[in-house]
């Protein structure tokens, strides 16, 4: 009897340890998300070459097809949006005109070509701070999962560092208040990474999902994009951040 009571307690604690988010929108194959401070909205990338703009409550404001692209992450800036393309580089979209531009990336680093772009396990996340772009390489193997740090301009772009974080299947990435935040699809984890110290400083176990995007707004909310077709909203406090 004591064994069953103990087992029940362990299961209860485990269940309580995984905070549940609120589903605010259902978007097919949501593969990336970012917060647009200028419009107080969110941009959600889609595997089939489209993006959705939604408000913070999840209402879809617009949908736009960019083309035959596998969009795997997004950064929203005042004048432009940057989309990570799984096996092709970066697609820049002008916020006013809607014009697009592909940015090829030089993947040479320390005399060798990094296996960054690959159709089976290519780029799955993007973050940006100033002139520095972070691209998350997805792999089910920890040793092959990394973040390439690019100096985007002046052209040509080049890799200036590689972050080996030892987390498998990092499929979502964002920069927030001096830290990189990653989500792992395979491990259902949210990871807070200290760029200066070059190490992970916090890991949060998430509820089960196909996590492929993460974003923060200015109200203390966190949004996660789920490739199974959901956008979830959490309070930072609920995730212990």
pTM above 0.75, yes or no: yes
Give the separation between CA 58 and CA 37, rounded to whole angstroms: 16
- For the chain, list the domains and their CATH numbers: 2-239 (2.120.10.30)
Query: What is the pLDDT, as a whole number, of residue 17?
Result: 57
* Apex 179 CA angle, 175 and 184, nearest 5: 75
Low-confidence stretches of the chain (pLDDT beneath 70)? 1-17, 119
Query: What is the pLDDT, as a whole number, of residue 16?
Result: 47
Classify the C-alpha dihedral 197-201-207-208 as positive or negative: positive
Contact between residue 170 and residue 135 where contact means Cβ atoms under 8 Å apart: no
Task: Mention every residue, 6+ apart, whose C-beta is less than 8 A from residue 97.
Answer: none
Reported as a single tens digit per residue, the pLDDT across 112-122 is 998 888 767 78
Alpha helices in the chain (DSSP H): 2-16
Peptide bond preceding 138 in cis form (omega within 30 of 0): no
Query: What is the pLDDT, as a whole number, of residue 37?
Result: 95
* Distance from the Cα of residue 116 to its chain's centroid: 16
């Amino acid at each position: 009897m004591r064994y069953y009571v103990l087992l029940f307690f362990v299961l209860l604690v485990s269940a309580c340890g995984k905070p549940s988010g609120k589903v605010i929108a259902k978007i097919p194959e949501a593969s990336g998300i970012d917060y647009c401070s200028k419009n107080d909205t969110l941009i959600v990338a889609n595997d089939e070459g489209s993006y959705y703009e939604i408000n913070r409550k999840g209402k879809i404001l617009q949908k736009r097809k960019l083309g035959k692209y596998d969009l795997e992450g997004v950064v929203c800036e005042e004048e432009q949006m940057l989309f990570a393309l799984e096996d092709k580089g970066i697609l820049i979209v002008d916020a006013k005109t809607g014009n697009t531009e592909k940015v090829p990336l030089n993947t040479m680093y320390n005399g060798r070509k990094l296996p960054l772009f690959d159709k089976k396990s290519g780029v799955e996340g993007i973050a940006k701070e100033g002139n520095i772009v972070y691209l998350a390489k997805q792999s089910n193997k920890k040793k092959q999962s990394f973040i390439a740090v690019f100096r985007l301009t002046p052209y040509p772009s080049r890799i200036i560092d590689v972050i080996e974080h030892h987390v498998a299947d990092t499929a979502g990435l964002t920069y927030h208040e001096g830290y990189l935040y990653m989500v792992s699809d395979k491990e259902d984890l949210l990871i807070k990474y200290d760029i200066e110290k070059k190490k992970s400083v916090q890991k949060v176990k998430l509820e089960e999902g196909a996590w492929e995007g993460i974003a923060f707004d200015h109200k203390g909310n966190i949004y996660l994009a789920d490739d199974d077709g959901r956008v979830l909203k959490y309070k930072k406090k609920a995730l212990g951040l």
